[in-house]
Amino acid sequence: AKERGKNNFQFYSSKLNGLSSRKMELENSLRKALEQNQLLLYYQPQVEIASGKTVGVEALIRWKHPEYGFITPNEFIPLAEETGLIVPLGKWILHQACEQNKAWQDEGFIKVPVAVNISVRQLQDDDFVSAVGNILKETGLDSKYLELEITESVMYNIERSTVILNELKKLGVKISIDDFGTGYSSLSYLKHLPIDKIKIDKSFVDDIINHSNQGAIVKTIIDMGHNLNYTVIAEGIETDVQVNFLKKHSCRIGQGYFYSRPLPVEEVSEFFK
Ligand code: C2E
Ligand code: CA
Ligand code: CA
Ligand code: CA
């Protein structure tokens, strides 16, 4: 029994070492990726459902690894959050997105907001608000063309989040709640936050075609959103059945492969035309 215990310990400790060294390796290569321009932003159009007009774009990060090819954000954003690298990485993302949106505007394309995903860790960093202010100044983008997508996890530190969100609103940026309906969120708190928009999570949009509840949750979120004066956007739309349902229930904006996949910069220009 003693033997086995010892072996078990060795097994676990080498497994743990293996895991943490893999993490460190990934963290190091992520730092390098940032320095060596392996990171880039794709943009997914957001479309007004009734008119088909493009009314926004969401920036989504991509890591083009020289050996492994594209690595998806779900694989490295959580690590960046855990290690704190999300703070410098997040600033880089914001700068890049604002600069690009300003460039499109200067090229004469229609002016629409760019939505940028913000991790809670990043939002609650001490100089987040001043960083956003500086980035807007540096890039010359009018603050009304920047939208920040945050998740319901901001509710865990509601006092601090409220202060930060109010400061961001003073800058003139828009606030959107991402993955709405999936997290811990209390409507009574939500009501007190300066929110402009809610994004119905893809899982509920999927339910429209699954007929499991005939889209009851989607209908409920749209109505609630309108009653609270939020703009409502549905994400992950893939079929015309979903579009028709959302149109019928007056959801204003849609995003998903039905309209367009996330696109590299050059192709967004084409989409705008
Ligand atoms: P998210 O913010 O909920 O983004 C939506 C995800 O769904 C994106 O995946 C997008 O490419 C994908 N998507 C869009 N339309 C459809 C559709 O019709 N069908 C399907 N199946 N998928 C669709 P992506 O780009 O892999 O991003 C995954 C997540 O990583 C994002 O989820 C977001 O939480 C995070 N993320 C991405 N970019 C950033 C970033 O710049 N900063 C931070 N902090 N997080 C990011
Ligand atoms: Ca998002
Ligand atoms: Ca989302
Ligand atoms: Ca999501």
149: which strand partners?
A: 117, 176
Q: Whose CA is nearest to atom 13 of ligand 1?
A: 236
**pLDDT tens digit at each of 273 positions of the chain:** 444 444 444 444 455 556 677 777 888 888 999 889 999 999 999 999 999 999 999 999 999 988 888 989 998 999 899 889 999 999 999 999 999 999 999 999 999 999 999 999 999 999 999 999 999 999 999 999 999 999 988 878 888 999 999 999 999 999 999 999 888 766 777 888 999 999 999 999 998 987 667 789 999 999 999 999 999 999 999 999 999 999 999 999 999 999 999 999 999 988 888
ipTM higher than the 0.95 cut: yes
Residues recorded for the chain: 273
Task: Report the C-alpha gap between 120 and 130 in whole angstroms.
Answer: 16
* Nearest ligand for residue 58 CA: 2
User: Does the CB atom of residue 73 touch ligand 1 within 6 A?
Assistant: yes
Phi-psi region of 146 (alpha: psi -120 to 50; beta: other; left: phi over 0): beta
Q: Report pLDDT for 17.
A: 57
Task: Let me know: does 61 contact 92? Beta carbons within 8 Å.
Answer: no
Rounded to the nearest whole angstrom, what is the distance from the C-alpha of residue 213 to the centroid of ligand 2? 25
Cα radius of gyration rounded to whole Å, the chain:
21
Task: Let me know: does 27 contact 19? Beta carbons within 8 Å.
Answer: no
Q: Whose CA is nearest to atom 7 of ligand 1?
A: 236
